Amino acid sequence: MNPMAPGLSAPGLSVEDLSWGHTLPGSGWRQLFRSFSLTCPRGQFLVLIGSNGSGKSTLLNLVAGTLPAASGRIHLGGRPLHRLRDHQRARWIGRVMQNPLEGTCPGLTVAENLRLAERRHRPAFLAGGALLGALGGLHPDGADRRRYRELLGDLGLPLADRLDEPVGQLSGGQRQTLSLVMATLGSPDLLLLDEHTAALDPRAEATVIELTNRLIRQLGTTALMVTHSLEQALGHGDRLVMLHDGRPIGDWSAAEREALDPPSLRAMYGAATVKEAPCTVHDGSPAP
Amino acid sequence: MLSLWLGAYDQGLAYAGLALGTYLTLRVLNFPDLTVDGSFALGGGTAAMLISQGTPVPLALGLAILFGCLAGLVTGLIHTRLGVNDLFAGILTTTGLYSITLRLMGRSNIPLPETPAGIQALPDLGLGLDGRWAVGLTLAMLGLILLISLLMATDVGLALRALGDNPTMARANGINQRRGLTVGIAAANGLVALAGALVALYQGFADVTMGIGSLILGLGMVIIGESVLRPRSVPWALLAVALGAILFRTMIAIALQLGLEPVDLKLATALLLLVALAFGRLRIPGLSDHGRLEQ
C-alpha cells in the first residue's frame, strides 16, 4: 500500500506517537490510541472510515485540540500544533461538525457567521494587544456583505440572498453548507470533516459532498474526512484509511482503492464494525 | 401622581445598568452571573465613599465602574482558570465582596444628601429635581446603549455573542473562550456597579446590603423588556432591557401605591420570577432545568 499520491510530498499533517484514553462508564479505562502515527502530505484528501468507537472522530478532535492528547506530537506544515490550544489551532484548521447545529451560531446572521470565520485566520483574535485592533470598525459592513454575496453566488448557493437571516432559520442542509463554506474561508491548511453529511437527507448530502469535493480541489487544502458511508469512502479522496480500535487496519491510495473489491472491503468493514449476526438462508432458517 | 411616575422613571433608568449587565451575562454570554449582587453594592458603596470625601462625581462613577469590572474579572478568572462552576464562582466573589465593600465604605451606610452639581445644572422641564434627574439619566442611558450597541457590532462584540451562542463553534473559529468570557463578565459587572452608583446618588445614600437580590431584579427587568418589545437585534434588545427596568420600577411603584408593604417587595419579585421560570417563559442557563427533568 502506498499512501502517498503522486506529486504530494510537501509536509502536511503529521501525527506521531499519539496516545489517548478515556474512562468508559462502568467498565474502567480504555486506551484507544497507543503510539498512533499518521502522515498526510500537503494537499492530500484522506478519507477515514471505521466502526463506531474506532477512534475516527476522536482523532479529529485530537488534531483540532478539542481533546488533549496524553502524549505525542502533531505537526501541520511543520508547526507543532500539540503545543497550541484549540482556538489557536483554528488559525490553520477549518472544521465541519457532524451535527449541522454545532458548526454555526444559530443566533447570528449568515453574514455574521461568515465574518467570524473570516476573522479566524487573523492572529490573536480577541487576544492581548489585538483586542483594541479588533474593535476597529463595525462588521459585517457593506464591503463584507458584497464579498460574501459574491462568494456564495460563485459557489452557486442560494444563501447569497439570505445574508441577514439568523442561521437558526436555515434548514440542516443549508446550515451544513454554510458551515463548509465557513470552514474553507481563507484557505485553511487543514480541513477536518467529521461525518459532515451523516445528518442530512440524500439530496442535501449530495449537494454538500459535491461542494466538499469542489472546494478541496479548488483550494488544494489537506483534508481529513471521517465517514461511515462506504460509498463515500470508495468514491472520494486521494487515500482511504480504515481504523479499528485506534489502529489503522487498512491504508489504500486512490489507485489501490480502485482495484479493491468492494464486497471484500465491505466485509472487512463489517468485521471491524460488529460481530456478524447469524446469517439467514432464503428459507428463513438460521445458518449453522 | 406625576411625581410617582417620574420617580419610577428615574429609578428605572438608574437601575438600567443592572438590567444591561444582566442581559450581557445571561443573554449574550449565556453565563448566570451571581456576582451582580456584590458588584451592585460595590459600585454604590465606592461612589458614596468617594463622593462623601469630596471626589468629583464623574471620577467617582468611573472608579465605581472600574471596581465593578475588577469584581467581574475575579469571577471570570475563578471560572475560566480554576474551573469552578459558573454559579459557584459568582457566589464566591459576591461573598468576598461584602467584606470588601464594607471595608471600602468604613461603615454600613453612607448618606449622600447633596444632588450632584451636574444634575442641578440640567433643565428641569418644569418638573423640579426629578425632571433634572430624568433629563440626565435619559441622556446617560441613551449614550450608554449607543456605546454598547457599537461595541457589540465590532469583531469583539461578535466574538462575545458567538461565545454565548455556540462556544464549540466559537473556539473552532479562533475565539479564546476563557478571555472572551472574562472580558464579557468584567464589562457586565462594570455596568452593574455603575447602576449601583447611580442608585446610591439618586436615593441619597449607599448601604452595604443594597445589592441583595440584584440578579433577580435584573432578571425581572430583562424579562419584562423582552416581553414588551420582543427585540430581534442587539440595539433593540438593549433598549428593551432599559425599558424593562423602567416598567419594573413602575410596577413596584404601583404595587406600593396599592398598599404592598415595602418589606414584601423582594418576595413579590421572587414569586413573579418563579412563575415565569415554572411556565417556561424564561430560559436561563443553570437556572431553568427542564431538560434534566425530562430525562
Give tens-digit pLDDT for A134-154. 666 677 888 889 999 999 988
Of A87, A112, A135, the CB nearest to B175: A87
Residue B293: band (very low, low, confident or very high) from pLDDT cuts 50, 70, 90: very low
What nine digits make up the cell of B17? 445598568
ipTM of the complex: 0.84
Report the pLDDT averaged over residues A38-67: 93
3-class SS of residue B87? helix
**% chain B with pLDDT above 70:** 93
Query: In what helix (H) or strand (E) does residue A50 lie, and over which residues does it extend?
Result: strand A45-50
Q: Which of A201, A264, A180, A277 is nearest to A230 (CA)?
A: A264
Distance CA B250, CA B242 (A): 13
B230 touches chain A (CB under 8 A): no
3-class SS of residue A20? strand
Residue A281 pLDDT: 36
Q: Which of B261, B260, B258, B229 is nearest to B245 (CA)?
A: B229
Over residues A249-272, the pLDDT tens digits come to 989 998 888 887 777 777 777 665
Distance CA B61, CA B64 (A): 5
Over residues A191-219, the pLDDT tens digits come to 999 999 988 888 889 989 999 999 999 99
Name the minimum distance, in Å, from the CA of B179 to any CA of chain A.
7
**Whether residue A277 has pLDDT greater than 50:** no
Name the minimum distance, in Å, from the CA of A168 to any CA of chain B.
11
Chain B residues in contact with A139 (beta carbon < 8 A): 153-155, 158
Exposure on the CB side of residue B162, measured as CA atoms within 13 A: 33
Over residues B179-221, the pLDDT tens digits come to 999 999 999 999 999 999 999 999 999 999 999 989 989 988 9
CB atoms A134 and B150 under 8 Å: no
Distance CA A101, CA A198 (A): 13
Of A95, A103, A116, the CB nearest to B158: A116
Q: Which of B37, B26, B32, B25 is nearest to B286 (CA)?
A: B32
A138 touches chain B (CB under 8 A): yes
CA trace torsion B179, B183, B185, B187 (10° rounding): 180
Candidates A86, A118, A125, partner chain B, best to mutate (most B CBs within 10 A): A125
Report the pLDDT averaged over residues B88-109: 97
Of A106, A126, A136, the CB nearest to B159: A126
CB atoms B183 and A95 under 8 Å: no
Q: Residue A96: beta bridge partners?
A: A193
Nearest CA in chain B to A111: B158
A224 touches chain B (CB under 8 A): no
Of A90, A104, A105, the CB nearest to B174: A90
The reported pTM is: 0.85
Q: What is the CA radius of gyration of chain B?
A: 18
CB-neighbour burial class of residue B242 (10 A; exposed 0-12, middle 13-18, buried 19+): buried
